[in-house]
């Protein structure tokens, strides 16, 4: 009997690949909470950027169903180990997605422009020194540069190209990424947004944001949101001191599920 989401015991792993963690679970919980809307939406092409272990794309495929339901899944990762692990995770759950080893959507964006109905992203959002971004290997799973925004800011314009008129984007962010600033920038591209799920730990808060094209309100946003830089210095220090280990988020991860 198929499970509602991917199950940890069937998720494959590799030392160079990010294991599912609080942020992965939060994104999948957000998708589950939006399940009825997603099913009514009847997406055709669904895509994950940065599939890691495959936990999220597998869960999405379980939630929405496969070809019989008219959906086609694609997932990319810059880390070839992650792509291989994702294949194993998909197989273990009896679901399927097309996998491509590439940087974000390089090689795909030209043809997929305006065609993707659902994009899910759990990006490398951890604030790190810029040099750590794009180093490859497992660090590519979390290294986000200044304010953790380097890769997010690369992904967003590409997502804008890929998304269809009815396209939805779900993305994991930290408070440190200034989600309100992200939403403001996306508003200028014509997107409405909503934080669909929030989860806090002692150190930080995860915000799962959903974006969709909002054709009623176009044009530049007013300065409702101002980017505040107070208080982040201590936060970044605290995050950086914990960054060296994958266990950044795993303070209580017995990983039973």
Partner 1 sequence: RENEQRARKRKMRLLTHNMLSSNIKGVANGFPLRIEVEKVVEKQVDFNADFLKNMFAKIEWKALVDASRSMGYSELPGDANPAMLDSDDFLQKFHHALLELHLEEGALVCPETGRKFPVNKGIPNMLLHEDEV
Both tokens of 107, joined, read 């090689």
- How many Cβ atoms from other residues are within 10 Å of residue 86's Cβ? 28
Q: Does 57 participate in binding partner 1 (rule CB under 8 A)? A: no
Q: Does 108 participate in binding partner 1 (rule CB under 8 A)? A: yes
Q: How far is the CB of 69 from partner 1 (least distance, A)?
A: 8
Number of residues that bind partner 1 (CB under 8 A): 30
Which of 3, 33, 39, 98 is in the footprint of partner 1 by CB under 8 A?
98
Nearer to partner 1, 99 or 119 (CB): 99
Q: Does 137 participate in binding partner 1 (rule CB under 8 A)? A: no
Which of 16, 29, 96, 153 is in the footprint of partner 1 by CB under 8 A?
96
Contacts 24+ apart (CB under 8 A), 179-184: 179/207, 179/209, 180/225, 180/227, 181/225, 181/227, 182/152, 182/156, 182/209, 183/209, 183/211, 183/225, 184/221, 184/224, 184/225
Q: Does 197 participate in binding partner 1 (rule CB under 8 A)? A: no
Q: Does 7 participate in binding partner 1 (rule CB under 8 A)? A: no
Q: Does 154 participate in binding partner 1 (rule CB under 8 A)? A: no
Q: How far is the CB of 66 from partner 1 (least distance, A)?
A: 7
Strands 72-77 and 116-121 turn out to be unpaired
Which of 8, 32, 100, 195 is in the footprint of partner 1 by CB under 8 A?
100
Q: How far is the CB of 76 from partner 1 (least distance, A)?
A: 9
Choose one: 18-26, 96-104, 194-202, 237-245; the region binding partner 1 (CB under 8 A).
96-104
Q: Does 151 participate in binding partner 1 (rule CB under 8 A)? A: no
Considering only residues 62-91, where is the footprint of partner 1 by CB under 8 A?
A: 66-72, 74, 78, 80, 83-84, 87, 91
Which of 106, 217, 255, 257 is in the footprint of partner 1 by CB under 8 A?
106
Residue ranges in contact with partner 1 by CB under 8 A = 44, 66-72, 74, 78, 80, 83-84, 87, 91, 94, 96, 98-103, 106-108, 110-112, 115
């Amino acid at each position: 009997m198929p499970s509602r989401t991917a199950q940890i015991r069937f998720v494959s792993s590799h030392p160079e690949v990010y294991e599912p963690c609080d942020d992965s679970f939060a994104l999948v919980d957000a998708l589950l909470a939006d399940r009825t809307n997603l099913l009514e939406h009847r997406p055709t092409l669904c895509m994950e950027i940065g599939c890691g272990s495959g936990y999220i794309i597998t869960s999405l495929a379980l939630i929405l169903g496969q070809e019989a339901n008219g959906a086609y899944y694609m997932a990319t990762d810059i880390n070839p180990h992650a792509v291989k692990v994702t294949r194993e995770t998909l197989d273990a759950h009896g679901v399927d997605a097309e996998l491509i080893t590439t940087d974000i959507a390089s090689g795909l964006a030209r043809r997929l422009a305006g065609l993707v109905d659902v994009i899910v992203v759990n990006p490398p959002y951890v604030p790190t020194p810029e040099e750590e971004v794009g180093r490859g290997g497992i660090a590519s799973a979390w290294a986000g540069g200044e304010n953790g925004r380097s890769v997010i800011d690369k992904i967003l314009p590409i997502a804008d190209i890929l998304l269809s008129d009815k396209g939805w984007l779900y993305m994991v962010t930290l408070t440190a990424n200034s989600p309100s600033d992200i939403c403001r920038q996306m508003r200028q591209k014509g997107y409405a947004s909503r934080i669909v799920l929030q989860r806090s730990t002692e150190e930080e808060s995860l915000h799962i944001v959903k974006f969709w094209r909002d054709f009623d309100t176009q044009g530049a946003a007013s300065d409702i949101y101002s980017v505040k830089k107070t208080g982040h210095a201590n936060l970044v220090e605290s995050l950086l001191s914990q960054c060296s280990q994958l266990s950044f988020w795993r303070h209580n991860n017995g990983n039973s599920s």
